[in-house]
Chains A and B, each alone.
Chain A
């Protein structure tokens, strides 16, 4: 009779060899039983159940992880089917997270994938703090910035449990990148924002008066002509009727100016900012992310420090390097401070204190909480509106334990203070 352990040992033969055997290349690795238990028990979060997400879920399940969560707000579209292999034609319109979870749970017995059909912003720090590590397969810069900032914000160097490794992947055509972010230890997503190609935008006057490319005609239709005709209703780029209108409008303009090349497909590409995507590249990047996840979780080999770029257009080329932290990074470069202050003192007292505090030496600090300003020295109108707050006590304005954001010309970016009222 095969016991469960026996089955496990045979089933995970490849990985267990790695975990049961010592290494001379990675001498720090200790092949102890607890590591295998950790893989079985660790909660792993996958953000995105799209092209990368489907691959990541499969890879994690086949790495022996059993408690996997996936979060995605999207539903399945027909154009996903050329790479998002957990979905079928009959699934179009259903939740990506739920469909993917059901599929993986059925195929890989023993794994438990929990879907979350919502936005990442709908979850709070309590939710994110439950996970051992987080893998991101997103196509949105904004969502990446959000999760990065959230995880960096949660990381408290004095409490190692709060550091959640973030593994991030991205692809475009035959190219992609995978990276490991250890919040506050390595460069973060925000540190590398300057590596992103800037969003394309054509000069408005070109679009309006001197179009030359088919793209100019399409932008004219969507930026200038659409609001004129449809008022406040935004174009729904998933609605073929709206795309058809934009296409026809752009085509008419192109005809007028003797410009060739406006097609339905190009119209869709420009207005939806479509990035070409194929199964192969998603497989490479997702596998690289999960390979790092397994290495980090088990310490069985050294992990990526900290960035790998892959290019398949011309032969196969990878560039693996250490992306440097930016000292003035708005997210991980900002200082964090814990302070105690008397709750019956006024905001003005607190600001005076910040100005006099020898290790701060701020000049004209602005103070905000959760994105809402408490006091701003400029601009004038805002200063006047917020001035009454100066007289109020801290107790009236905030609760003990709140995190406030200070900016000042003397700071590289900002200062976060967790304020305890006494």
Chain B
């Protein structure tokens, strides 16, 4: 095992070589070397992100030293961008760090396409106005270029014990969502090879050893077949019918503790569920991206289109998704298990080959070479086809211009919801608009409570929500925090946001949609689609 594999062993077990490769090709921008921003970078540099760039015009102050591990007392007065880059670079020689001592607004004026080079643009310690501006550049970039060149935007901040992060990725498609199990056994609708398989077991003449090792899949298939014969080809649907099937299986046991029969019995309910195309996948079939496929479309949508045609060709697919080809462990002799496994695998391969043929035709139709998607990728796509996922975040602009007032009212109706912190952060932004500073920053912090209360009321009114929805105690509390940075909260949010960024970059697991809030007083989080 090479040194790099050894170093990354504990994470490769999560996202594998392809995830690691994606991470190593990514470049993240951090605007402002805030405590939380540097914590996010730390958690991305350690697992080996390709490059990072820090843009910050400021110099290190004492309060930075007390809240950010990547400054020390000797850093005071030096460039925040340079110093943070230096200390962060020490974490991993594989990650390349860059720093620019400049203000992002000035930088964007000088170089309007500055952001184009990044996979992720993350901002913190910025005003709402600046965040919105940068978010829009990223959003428009994704709309005007090929979708594969999207820039994901992240805004993360902490105020006292509160943390918040917003992610904007216009469209995020995932094949490897990492479901708990991808087993797809087709007990209700066995394909011919599977049907032939269970018939090779003679339930009457086998000796006890062999009988005790008949794979439960064969047991289920046999008794399901019998049940169907007795019920006009129907599978059990009601609870009573499923119990009848169980009783039938039980009647076939030789002793009360045949483990393989126990396994079969405990799988009856799941196996009676008809194998169908999940509604979430049907929704993808009718997605505009599939309807309007072009040469610029990403592979994901090309494959969804092929999948749709595969399902439509019932002579080949029986109207079902391609088989995953994975089976769980079960009590069985080695030979019969390996045989069963190879039957499922062969069928999965066969399905994937059909999908590959269709994919070739689809590619040609949109003017791409017919082999331009590798077969291994098609195979993986088929294997996880029941769990494909598309996450589309709303733009930051629409969050402000077209607020989802109904949902907001619902969140605020729940007195325990962490959503109230969103209102307070938004009101604080409005306060900044009025005063050019954030509430509670000064010694006379309690004087800000009333002003902020006014900002809260205005905001709630604009949503048509009850003005009392946010208690005065809570307004007082955020003034108490006074925009102070507390390292624990920065570190926690740094962990949360870096997990999300890893999910976005690797295209594995499912990122949140679209705002996460953390209240460090109550130790709770909440995710809200705003």
Contact = CB atoms under 8 A, between A and B. Distances in A.
Interface in A42-64: 55, 58-59, 62-64
B489 interface: yes
Contacts of B48: 82
A290 B525 contact: no
A279 B46 contact: yes
B477 A23 contact: yes
Contacts of A295: 521
A59 B488 contact: yes
A342 interface: no
A15 B496 contact: no
Contact of B333 (A55, A210, A284, A308): A210
Contacts of B516: 316
Nearest to B490: A287
B331 to A, nearest CB: 8
Interface in B36-88: 39, 42-43, 46-48, 61-63, 65-69, 72-73
B523 A82 contact: no
B47 A24 contact: no
A25 B472 CA distance: 10
Contacts of B337: 210, 212
B502 interface: yes
A259 B341 CA distance: 10
A238 to B, nearest CB: 12
Contacts of B91: 85
A280 B484 contact: no
B530 interface: no
Contact of A276 (B13, B474, B489, B524): B13
A82 B499 contact: no
A109 interface: yes
B491 A287 contact: yes
Contact of B62 (A11, A265, A318): A11
Contact of B488 (A89, A287, A310): A287
A320 B511 contact: no
A284 B511 CA distance: 16
B160 A17 contact: yes
A317 B69 CA distance: 27
B343 to A, nearest CB: 14
A366 interface: no
A283 B492 contact: yes
B492 A78 contact: no
A18 B488 contact: no
A21 B43 contact: no
Most buried by B among A55, A88, A315: A315
A163 to B, nearest CB: 21
Contacts of A16: 484
A421 interface: no
Nearest to A88: B90
B485 interface: yes
Interface in B476-530: 476-477, 480-482, 484-489, 491-492, 494-496, 498-500, 502-503, 509-513, 516, 520-525, 527
Interface stretch (B2-10, B233-241, B295-303, B358-366): B2-10
B484 A174 contact: no
Contacts of B10: 79, 82-83, 274-278
A316 B473 contact: no
A10 interface: yes
A287 B13 contact: no
Nearest to B332: A212
Contact of A79 (B6, B510, B524): B6
Contacts of A108: 69, 72
Contacts, number: 249
Interface string B323-341: 0000001111110011000
A25 B519 CA distance: 13
Contacts of B512: 315-316
B66 A283 contact: no
A21 B47 contact: no
A18 B338 contact: no
A212 B65 CA distance: 56
Nearest to A318: B525
A398 interface: no
Given A7-B62, A85-B91, A210-B213, A284 B487 contact: no
Most buried by A among B46, B440, B472: B46
B445 interface: yes
A316 B527 contact: yes
B63 A10 contact: yes
A264 B9 CA distance: 11
A155 interface: no
Interface in B379-412: none
A81 B10 CA distance: 10
B62 A173 contact: no
Contact of A291 (B72, B513, B520): B520
Contacts of A316: 496, 499-500, 512, 516, 525, 527
Contacts of B67: 13-14, 62
A12 interface: yes
Contact of A284 (B11, B46, B90, B499): B499
Interface in A6-37: 7, 10-18, 21-26
Nearest to A215: B329
A283 B329 contact: no
A182 interface: no
B14 interface: yes
A314 B491 contact: no
A304 B513 CA distance: 26
B161 interface: yes
Contact of B13 (A206, A274, A286, A291): A274
A274 B6 CA distance: 13
B277 to A, nearest CB: 21
B87 to A, nearest CB: 8
B1 interface: yes
B252 to A, nearest CB: 21
A18 B161 contact: yes
A286 B496 CA distance: 12
A282 B334 contact: no
A388 interface: no
19 contacts: A58-B487, A64-B66, A82-B9, A107-B72, A174-B499, A240-B1, A265-B12, A277-B10, A279-B43, A282-B495, A283-B43, A287-B489, A287-B494, A290-B491, A291-B492, A291-B520, A291-B523, A304-B523, A315-B513
5 A-B pairs with least C-beta separation = A283-B495, A14-B484, A284-B495, A287-B492, A62-B487
Given A13-B63, A315-B513, 5 more contacts: A18-B484, A58-B487, A81-B92, A83-B47, A210-B213
